[in-house]
Amino acid sequence: MSEKTDLVNRISGLIFRFRPLVILFFLSATLFMLWSATALKVDAGFNKLLPLEHPYMKTFVKYQTEFGGANRILIAITVDKGDIFTPEFFNTLKNITDEVFFIPGVDRSQVKSLFTPNVRFIEIVEDGFAGGNVIPADFQGTKEDLIQVRKNILKSGQVGRLVANDFSGAMITAGLLERDPTTGERINYQKVAQHLEDIRQKHETASIHIIGFAKVIGDITEGAQNVLMFFAIAFIITGILVYLYSLSLWLTALPLLTSLTAVSWQLGLLPLLGFGIDPMSILVPFLVFAIGVSHGVQMINSMRSEILNGASSKEAAKASFQRLLVPGGIALASDTVGFLTILLIKIEMIQEMAITASIGVAVIILTNLFLLPVLLSYLPKTKEKLQLRLNRRVERLKPFWHKLSAFTVNPLVTVTIIISLLLLVAGLWKGSEIEIGDLEQGVPELRSDSRYNIDSAIITDKFSIGVDILTVIAETRADGCIDYDTMSTIDRFNWHIQNIAGVQSVISLPTLAKLYNAGWNEGNPKWQVLPRNQQVLVQAVTPVDTSTGLLNEDCSAMPVLIFTSDHKATTIARIVDAVKEFEQNNTNQTVHFRLASGNVGVMAATNEVVAAAQFPMLLYVYGAIITLCLITFRSLRATLCIVAPLGLVSALAYALMTVLGIGLKVSTLPVVALGVGIGVDYGIYIFNRLHEQLDKGMSLRDAYEQTLNMTGNAVLFTGLTLGIGVFTWIFSDLQFQVDMGILLTFMFLLNMIAAITVLPALAALLYRKHS
């Protein structure tokens, strides 16, 4: 007897000797975890989405206090007919401005509207400059007032920014703090989103369009609440499938019960470890349930086989525990490793998802490999009628398994290997075309016809700015804003970027300085240039205050605001490359252009982090699986048989993403690791049985046929259970859940098919002496 077998026997002896105590322990722990789960909260945060170790984000953090961050909300009020110059419109605009100002978590210094004092105009008069608030303090909404406000708006340069290009709308913008200054706690984005929706409902007679991170989180959280409905549907479907498989209410209820126990432990452990649950990972407990059921089916299958051979319930449960502890443990360890490799992506939200999922899968090791067999040991004796039905099913399936066993002999071996190689080449070729980041306009986590994406499209159409902004910081020495060479370099950078496809508009200090210089010269357009004389340049720059966000107090940093038409991966890459190209060719060593702030800057950094992490992550996943297989089976051939089908499916998954237009991003990259980690389960269970039969001296075909007779049902059922479970996600209101559902369904089902076709074909090549 090997040391491994001896250890398993000792553990099984201990577990089954104290069955009541084992059940009591799990019952007590589950009640405690259910109580703990009541403290679990949805935990979303803007900074959780930032790859803070990336160079762009270091720039972002360095200047966040001075120039604001990327966490903004934009509220546009539009009219269906005519223009905004009516008393009713301005009354609505003023009320909404006041309401936004008092939303908890809003940085009041960054609220901008035609009614806020930081939105001013400057004009040239006989004595020089004159200016004031765009909407004066004595504004009453009279006809004369509206005419004057129209003039002030034109003088302020806010057309396209706070006022629509066709005067059909006006905008309110506000920055959000990460923590509430009054409480010091992280702001609740769901409450901010609810405040914004309350504003929309209160002014339902107006056309209000709201975009920004807080609104995205609110919409995602609202959509994610439907996961309970999907969970209920999948639970019912899974229960029906398990019953059809087992033909027993007991064997249906117990794996469902232990899988729910695993989910309750997972949700209970999160608050104990100081975690909440992010809306982007709300489906992870659902996935854990599906994994638990699939492994529970393997235990049921083994139990049935033992009972058919005449064992009692306790003997069958004990034998099943001994047979599945190692392969089941290795399979679940592979799942856990698959989740843990996501920690390589240095983004807090992704790392929390990895921890959440890893906890869930690790708990399944306890509930499904220890608790389930103990509960099964109390199973009532199978009735003869039911036993006959099960025997008939086994006999009916034998011809099917016999046909499938042909994958171990030629010509099917050769055909399978050739088709697999062709699919691998096609997958690698098409998968190499996958793009990093978002491929569509709007927020890709939501459906294209969602209210948010419709609002985003309207704002982009009517205004020259939107929520998509890339901020490049021009760093120089102090008083750089009154140095002609520095300002001229920034101005040339403006022109360079303005002519890049995907750039809507560019605003920087030189842009305003040229306008003010013309103003000092009777508004003559010929003077709309940067003055070379320093005193004249000082005169042109002085009217621009630091509140504009275009310079800091000592003029050592001057942001260049680049408003983009969208945040598609290609658009971001094109603009970022243009910035890097200009900086590389910049001959003025006193000024440097640092990427990046703004939400597009965050996306650019995230895309680069995802691009850098994808291959190391896969290498770690496969490396860990290979190591676990080598430890378990102590054979390179066995390891290759298990891992090669996984590689084929991974390549095809990348190809599918390319074909469906799904970019590789924060929400989809983990799917690849999850699919590999969970997909290996099929191969481990099949090869473990196959290895046992080969050790008995059987030929490969006979061994594989016997393997399918013993575990084929369970493997097919596992694939269907996982596939159907995640397939329900495609009906979600959230696009990222739809994408995850499609990809995981594809990977689960294809991994199952590859395990029962490609694995035996490879075994036929590598184990020729058994053929």
161, 465 contact by CB (below 8 A): yes
Radius of gyration of the chain from its Cα atoms, rounded to whole angstroms: 32
pLDDT of residue 224: 67
pLDDT, tens digit, 9 for 90 and up, residues 347-365: 777 888 888 888 888 898 8
Q: 130 forms bridges with which residues in the sheet?
A: 123
Quick one: how far is CA 357 from the chain centroid? 14
Quick one: how far is CA 769 from the chain centroid? 48
CA–CA separation, 150 and 84 (whole Å): 10
**Block residue for tokens 């071996």:** 413
pLDDT of residue 524: 72
Query: CA separation (Å) from 270 to 34, 42, 301, 425, 472?
Result: 11, 11, 32, 42, 39
**Helix, strand or coil, per DSSP, at residue 443:** coil
pLDDT of residue 577: 92
Residue 533 DSSP class: S
The shares of helix, strand and coil residues in the chain, as percent rounded to the nearest 5, are: 65, 10, 25
Per-residue tokens: 590: 């006193």
pLDDT of residue 314: 84
Residue type at 497 in one-letter notation? I
Q: Which residues contact 483 (CB under 8 A, 6 or more apart)?
A: 476, 477, 534, 537, 590
CA–CA separation, 80 and 86 (whole Å): 13
CA–CA separation, 173 and 548 (whole Å): 13
Q: Which residues contact 764 (CB under 8 A, 6 or more apart)?
A: 407, 408, 409, 410, 413, 700, 771
Q: Can you give the pTM of this predicted structure?
A: 0.76
**Block residue for tokens 């959280």:** 221
Region of 437 on the Ramachandran plot (φ > 0 left; ψ -120 to 50 alpha; else beta): left
Residue 559 DSSP class: E
489, 600 contact by CB (below 8 A): no
Region of 618 on the Ramachandran plot (φ > 0 left; ψ -120 to 50 alpha; else beta): alpha
pLDDT of residue 2: 56
Strand positions, DSSP E, 100-163: 106-112, 120-125, 128-133
Burial class (CB in 10 A: 0-12, 13-18, 19+), 521: middle
pLDDT of residue 297: 81
pLDDT of residue 125: 65
Per-residue tokens: 13: 């002896």
CA–CA separation, 37 and 423 (whole Å): 45
pLDDT, tens digit, 9 for 90 and up, residues 368-411: 888 988 898 888 776 666 567 666 777 777 888 888 888 888 88
Q: Write out residues in the chain with pLDDT < 50, as ranges.
A: 1
**Block residue for tokens 């249906």:** 252
232-258 as b/e: b if 16+ CB within 10 A: eebbebbbebbeebbbbeebbebbbbb
56, 575 contact by CB (below 8 A): no
Angle, helix 636-660 to helix 735-766, in steps of 10 degrees? 150
Note if the bond before 311 is cis, omega within 30 degrees.
no
